[in-house]
Amino acid sequence: MSTILEGKNITKSYKSESGNGSLVVLEDTSITIEKGSIVTVVGASGCGKSTLLHILGGLDRPDSGTVYWKKESMYDMAADALAKFRNRKLGFVFQFHHLLPEFTAIENVMMPALIRGETVDKAHKRALELLEKFGIPDRAEHRPTQLSGGEQQRVAMARALMNNPDLILADEPTGNLDEKNTEIVLNLLFDLREIEDVSILLITHEKDIASRSDIIYELSKGKLTER
C-alpha cells in the first residue's frame, strides 16, 4: 500500500486559561495513513484527538511539524488551494453532524458538489445514490429536525462522500447516538472501504470500536503510540 497522508513531528499548544504558560496538546507526534486502510486514534476525552484530526485535515495549523498528502506538504498550499483540496480529497464526519437546518437532507448532501462547481442534476443524482446506500432515500426531502439522530449522522456521512474523497476523517461519529444507531453507523462506516474505495481515520474514546481497525494509535499526554 502507498502512503496518502503523513503527519510528521506535529506539536500544538494552547495558552492556559490562567494566561500563565501554555498547555501542550500534541508533542512531536507522527502518524501515517496508507491507502485503503482504516486507522483509529483512541484516547481519553480532552487528550487532543480532535486537535490532531483538525491538523491532519487542514482545518488547523500545528505550531511545528507538517502534514504531507502524497508527499506534498499540505501547509505549503495557499489558503484557497487548501480549501479546494479539502473539498475534493477529504470528507469530514463529526460527532455533531453540522447539517444546515434550512436545507433538506438531499440538499445537505449535494452541498460539497455544488461548491465544487458540479451541475445540480449530477449532484442530485449522486446524492440520491448515496442516500440509498445509507438506507434513507425516503428521507431525502426531510429537513434535519425531521430526522432521528442516526438518520442525521447517515446524511452527514453521505455528504462526506459526495465528492468521492480519498480519505474520510471521522471524529467521534457515534458519540451522540444510542446503542442501536451506533451499531448501524459503525457498520456503514467500516463498509465504506469496500463500497467507496476510501481510507478512514477514526477518532474515538471507545476501545472496542477501535478493535475493528487495521491500525490503532493511542494518544496520551501529547504522545501518539501505535498499539
pLDDT tens string 198-209: 899 998 877 777
The whole-model pTM stands at 0.86
Percent of the chain's residues with pLDDT above 70: 98
CB atoms within 10 A of CB 90: 21
pLDDT, one tens digit per residue, over 18-29 is 666 778 889 999
Map grid coordinates 507538517 to a residue: 66
- The chain-wide mean pLDDT, for the chain, equals 87
More confident residue, 46 or 49: 49
> How far lies 20's CA from each of 11, 33, 47, 221, in Å?
19, 36, 20, 19
Query: What is the rounded average pLDDT of the residues 69-92?
Result: 89
pLDDT at 1: 66
C-alpha span between 82 and 195 (Å, rounded) = 27
Q: Could you read off the pLDDT of 132-186 as tens digits, one per residue?
A: 988 899 999 999 999 988 899 889 989 998 998 999 999 888 777 778 878 877 8
For the chain, list the domains and their CATH numbers. 36-50+83-226 (3.40.50.300)
Q: What is the distance between the alpha carbons of residues 180 and 127, in angstroms, rounded to a whole number?
A: 25
Does pLDDT of 210 surpass 80?
A: no
Rama region for 43: left / alpha / beta (φ>0; ψ in -120 to 50; rest): left
